[in-house]
Structure 1
């Protein structure tokens, strides 16, 4: 049997109209209804509205969680199971749900609180860098206070996060092909949101985690585990810690993975993995029509 990893994208992969074609399926109808009870607003309506609303953290994160978890459940319902799972930032919550570390309602409750807190984090900025000198970047980061590598996505793509003046200083000094400011409310995955992370910690502490049914590669520690206590500790560190997606990707062939299925809108993660692990079979499940394919 082919060893398959399921990976779940995070904020930035959202697309207007995502999840709409799922709305005719009974399983999805139940989830959308339950999500509206928990959130107090409709995921389907948010996904159909203008991109400005969908791109706001408050709506983006719950919408991605709901749509991706429905897609994962449809795969499981059809008898598909992964060898291991991983998710990029917000996607890690879907990975934990798919591995049955917590139920749908618990996961959405966590994501709701996370989105509300992060939406209100107004300090700091984030900038994506493409095709840069890594040695130079690491030296600049080391020399510049209040800026960190927030997302280490691939050898050729990272996101830096921190105080505006620090991020701008690094962005102007680094030799990079492109530097793109991200439309986010704060310096996510950096020490600047430590206060927000502390508030979220109180919410997370109250939630019981179960051992995972499939190993999970976590953002802050890209090594597989099924142990509930370890997974919870890693998630506690995720909000201020770096997303180590480059290392997660490189770990996949080490674990014997032969195929990767990206579950969610877009093809961001499979695009990154393709460049780092060209021998892996890649597939995308982003809508109902992808199941027939």
Structure 2
């Protein structure tokens, strides 16, 4: 039996029209209705008609959670993963799929997380592609208020911090491409400490169960099923770095041979391909593509 990991993308993978063919499925319709009751706005309306809102953290994160969890539930009728992981927001979908919390509880967590991150203004993030790692590590070590936020692959990272610190790093580091990100705050950095502290209190009110399959967390890419460990790692996630390169390297170490990225786009399979060779990579972005997995 081929050992399979399911991985779930986070903010930045959203696209207008995502998940809309899911509305043809009765079980999906129920989830969209339930989501509107929890959120106070319509996921399907945002995904179909409001590209500007879909790009805002406040809406992006709940929309991705709803679409990706529904896709995963459809696929689960035919197969089960042996391991799960998600990139930033995607970790919440991984935890739901692993049975760590109920669907509605997860959406409420994501809703509050999105609100806190939307309001954490004043920071800056930038992606670097084709850079010298040693040089970047040295510059970050010498620069206050700038950190490595996403270690995505050996060729792509995201830095986060105060606008002044990020500008300073960008001015010094050599890279093929330097791309400022259109986000409201310095996500995955110490600048999120206040939001993280408030979110820790929110997490304390939600019961976590032992995972049914191992979960690789962003801040500590070592698989576990222990509820307390998974919650502690999630507490750290808002201020900690997303260690996706190490997650990709851990997949073959865990005996994984096949990886299915569930959600819009193909960012994660692209990153995994650059980091861990020899894995069979698949994407499920729509109801139509769930048929490929289920056939």
TM-score range, shorter chain: over 0.9
Is the partner of 1:77 in helix, strand or coil? coil
Indicate yes or no: 2:253 matched with 1:254.
yes
Mapping 1:13-92, distance limit 5 Å: 13-78=13-78, 80-92=79-91
1:132-164 C-alpha deviation (Å, 9 max, x unpaired): 000000000000000000000000000000000
Question: How much does 1:27 deviate?
Answer: 1.1
Question: How much does 1:278 deviate?
Answer: 2.2
Given that 2:7 and 2:86 are in contact with CA atoms closer than 8 Å, whether structure 1 keeps it comes out as yes
CA distance in 1, matches of 2:51, 2:18: 11
CA distance in 2, matches of 1:292, 1:237: 37
Q: Which sections of structure 1, spanning at least 5 residues, go unmatched?
A: none
Root mean square deviation of aligned Cα: 0.6
Mapping 1:122-271, distance limit 5 Å: 122-271=121-270
CA distance in 1, matches of 2:62, 2:198: 18
1:31-62 C-alpha deviation (Å, 9 max, x unpaired): 00100000000000010123211000000000
CA distance in 2, matches of 1:160, 1:198: 22
Question: How much does 1:172 deviate?
Answer: 1.2
TM-score relative to the length of structure 2: 0.98
Question: How much does 1:260 deviate?
Answer: 0.2
Question: How much does 1:171 deviate?
Answer: 0.8
Name which of structure 1's ranges 258-267 and 195-204 shifts more when overlaid on structure 2: 195-204
Residue of structure 2 in register with 1:98 after alignment: 97
Indicate yes or no: 2:89 matched with 1:109.
no
Question: How much does 1:193 deviate?
Answer: 1.1
TM-score relative to the length of structure 1: 0.99
Residue of structure 2 in register with 1:288 after alignment: 287
Matched residue count: 292
Q: Which sections of structure 2, spanning at least 5 residues, go unmatched?
A: none
